[in-house]
Amino acid sequence: MEIDCDALVERFLLIKNPLYTFNFPISILVAIVVYGVMKAYKLSTNSYITQILAPLSSLLVSMVLIDMLCRAMINQDEKDKLNKLCLSYMNDPNKKKKMFSEKALDMYDVQNYDGKVDGFKNVQDEQYMNEPDLDPLDREMDTSKHIYDNITTTFIPNPSLDGMKPEGVGSFPKDDIMCVGDSKSTDCNLCSGSGKNPAKIIAPVPGPQWLPQNAETVQRRLKTNNYTKNRCMGEPNQF
């Protein structure tokens, strides 16, 4: 649903002006006065002009002049303020839900809107949602549930994996890791998995500074089960 806040605000301010609200009755009175003046002073002997053309013309001219006058009387600062409130009101998820359910926008509600979104807390010029602080590494929580990235997960038992025991992981020190092309003669390269960075290099992952492990190192890791399994067995605290 597209809503033009600028047009709505201008229309709202015009309707608040009594002169604009009673535009048509005032114009009718002007037309009656014009007719009376022309009749009393006999400004025209043509009855068509006196009874129809002159009153109707004065009616239309009065309505146009009153409309122009009322638009010129609009306070630009108040209009800009209401326009910003209207945009904020439409971005409020709670107000937007109300607006879609009623299929209408109450400008008096917009005028009294304070910009505060229900369910959020204000900190200076910013708003934050009230959410419970969860520590994903808290080990004192219920062991049947684990929090990772604020998502509560529970592992579902898999009958096909029952009775299978996790394979033992052998010893494989990081000092035994060797990389392809690692001559140990330059500090501009990083050997993946070794955890050594004597020159404090800041490198993207992946990046040209990282050297891949050689075939011998990879074979030894596979034999000692030092690699990421293709499926999880048991609870996360076992990994």
- pLDDT in 10s for each residue of the chain, 239 residues: 567 889 999 999 999 999 999 999 999 999 999 999 999 988 888 989 999 999 999 999 999 999 999 999 999 999 999 998 888 888 888 888 888 888 888 888 888 888 777 666 666 656 555 555 655 555 455 555 544 555 555 666 666 655 556 666 778 787 778 888 776 666 677 888 777 777 777 777 777 778 888 888 888 888 888 776 666 555 555 44
Q: Name the domain boundary from 72, 98, 115.
A: 72
What's the total number of domains in the chain? 2
Q: Is residue 24 part of a domain?
A: yes
Q: Is residue 41 part of a domain?
A: yes
Q: What separation, in Å, do the N-terminal and C-terminal C-alpha atoms of the chain show?
A: 50
Output Rg (C-alpha) for the chain, integer angstroms. Answer: 39
Q: Is residue 215 part of a domain?
A: yes
Q: Is residue 56 part of a domain?
A: yes
Q: Which residues pair with 137 in a beta bridge?
A: none
Where in the sequence is the domain holding 209, given as residue range(s)? 170-228
Q: Is residue 158 part of a domain?
A: no
Q: Is residue 95 part of a domain?
A: no
Six-digit token string for 167: 């394979």
Work out the burial of residue 209: count CB atoms within 10 Å of its CB; fewer than 13 is exposed, 13-18 middle, 19 or more buried.
middle
Q: Is residue 218 part of a domain?
A: yes
Q: Is residue 147 part of a domain?
A: no
Q: List Cα–Cα distances, 184 to 43, 155, 191, 217, in angstroms.
A: 112, 45, 10, 16
- Please state, in angstroms and rounded to a whole number, the distance separating the CA atoms of residues 31 and 25: 10
Q: Name the domain boundary from 55, 72, 89.
A: 72
Contact 206, 192 (CB under 8 A): no
